[in-house]
Amino acid sequence: MHVLFVSPEVWPLARVGGLAEVSHDLPLALAKRGHRISVVTPHCRLAADVAARLERMDLTLEVPVSWRRHRAEVHRLPAGPGVDIYLIGHEHLFDREGLYGNAYGDYEDNAERFIFFSRAAMELALALGQPVDLIHCHDWTTGLIPLYLRAIYGQEPLLKQAGTVMTVHNLGTQGIFWHYDMPLTGLGWEYFTPEAIEFYGKINFLKAGLVFADMITTVSPTYAKEILTPEMGFGLEGVLQARRDRLVAVTNGIDHQAWDPSRDPYLAATYGPDNLAPKLRCGEQARQLMGLAPSNGRPLACFIGRLVDRRGMDLLVSSLETILEMGLDLAVMGYGEDRYHVLLQDLRRRNPERLGVYVGYEMEMAHQLVAGSDMLLMPSRYEPCGLHQLHAMRYGTVPVVRATGGLEDTVVDQRPDQPGHGFKFVAYDQPSFLEALHRALEVYRQPELWRAMMLRGMAQDHSWDKATPAYDEIYQRARAISQAQTDA
């Protein structure tokens, strides 16, 4: 199939969260199964080395937004066999410091920016001149696309066969804008209804995707159940329930080549299940990197991810001094809410040898921290899938996680009567979190048991090759549904 894979974040062009890695790795894995993937993404402000690899295409798109036409430049980045990344450029809309916003919050013109992007993806498909079999959309920024296909582009010979798949990586952000933005969408007011994209008097981009896509997917089986409940459905549970026959879960994978402790170029020493000792060297490297004192028998735990409540930052920060008292050292890497930057830096000043903080995200450092830590903490409030715990297990780093979404599905709790490869807690509160950490420390003090846990984690297979057959089936199903509609 020729798949138009539309995503706002694609590694190494832009990364806010795990979506970026998925949008890079999944197309490559799908291409191995014979699909041809055209990835479409905004041309954000790029690092110079990445920008230098782009090819400028001899193509200018005219993208209708309201009564105007925005011109979009297109660049191409060949990503691997069968995969091309197309970057949609618009200086005024995308050449900015951040992708969704800056330190002051979300950009106020996000409706216009992502309406433009979604329509540009459709216009690009027409300009490329090759029939599209399937359009795979990711999260709210691309939610309007399945509706555009129906309302505006459905008669285009290159697009009319296309099935659509909407993947939810995070239901918590939906792209909700006031109804005055309706004319910007280019859609008639007949779509501003509860059955379509109206949502409590406003426009909801993600809802458009959930209502109009042929198939809906999300990134773990537990999350697929959670989003049907009022607690985790963020107001869209009813919409999802109505379409639950079209909702399928596929757990994310990770790139087993890029994340392999036995040949990871970023590590001070490489190691594997048969040779764990060099991991200690990685521990020293991680401690140095974070400015921490040598271990002295204390294990190192790390947290990698956005510093926001939904990742459990409030729980982590309020438990932090107790965690240090328990004898764990801690390294935190991530970027997020300003108050957490301030709080963490303050805690670091008070515990300079035991707490390391890096505000930002560096891929290289993520590898070094995962390899050098004994445990990885993910106390998320909710977690659609989570990738760091998968990296951690592959590196013999034991995850301590809240039992939610993909964390529930991918981590098996270690109990006296049940050999696991991680520690889980259920209630989102400090006693439960600390109880899991106590259990982890107890096992850590029994080296043989701990080693066995590390090895069980390392033996897990979460490579993309395991997930792609499921996407294959979903693509076929979406296309069959759309064809049946076209024929009818």
Residues that bind ligand GLC (CB under 6 A): 17-19, 22, 169-170, 219, 252, 383-387, 406
Nearest CB to ligand GLC, comparing residues 7 and 164: 7
Beta pairing partners, 482: none
Nearest CB to ligand GLC, comparing residues 74 and 370: 370
CA 217 to the chain's CA centroid: 14
Nearest CB to ligand GLC, comparing residues 187 and 411: 411
Instruction: Quote the least distance from Cβ 197 to ligand GLC, whole Å.
Output: 23
Nearest CB to ligand GLC, comparing residues 283 and 305: 305
Instruction: Quote the least distance from Cβ 406 to ligand GLC, whole Å.
Output: 6
Nearest CB to ligand GLC, comparing residues 191 and 205: 205
Nearest CB to ligand GLC, comparing residues 386 and 396: 386
Instruction: Quote the least distance from Cβ 464 to ligand GLC, whole Å.
Output: 12
Instruction: Quote the least distance from Cβ 428 to ligand GLC, whole Å.
Output: 16
Instruction: Quote the least distance from Cβ 382 to ligand GLC, whole Å.
Output: 8
Nearest CB to ligand GLC, comparing residues 119 and 391: 391
Instruction: Quote the least distance from Cβ 84 to ligand GLC, whole Å.
Output: 22
Which residues make Cβ contacts (< 8 Å) with residue 436, sequence separation at least 6? 400, 423, 424, 425
- Give the strand pairing for 176-178 and 134-138: unpaired
Instruction: Quote the least distance from Cβ 227 to ligand GLC, whole Å.
Output: 12
Instruction: Quote the least distance from Cβ 340 to ligand GLC, whole Å.
Output: 17
Nearest CB to ligand GLC, comparing residues 372 and 384: 384
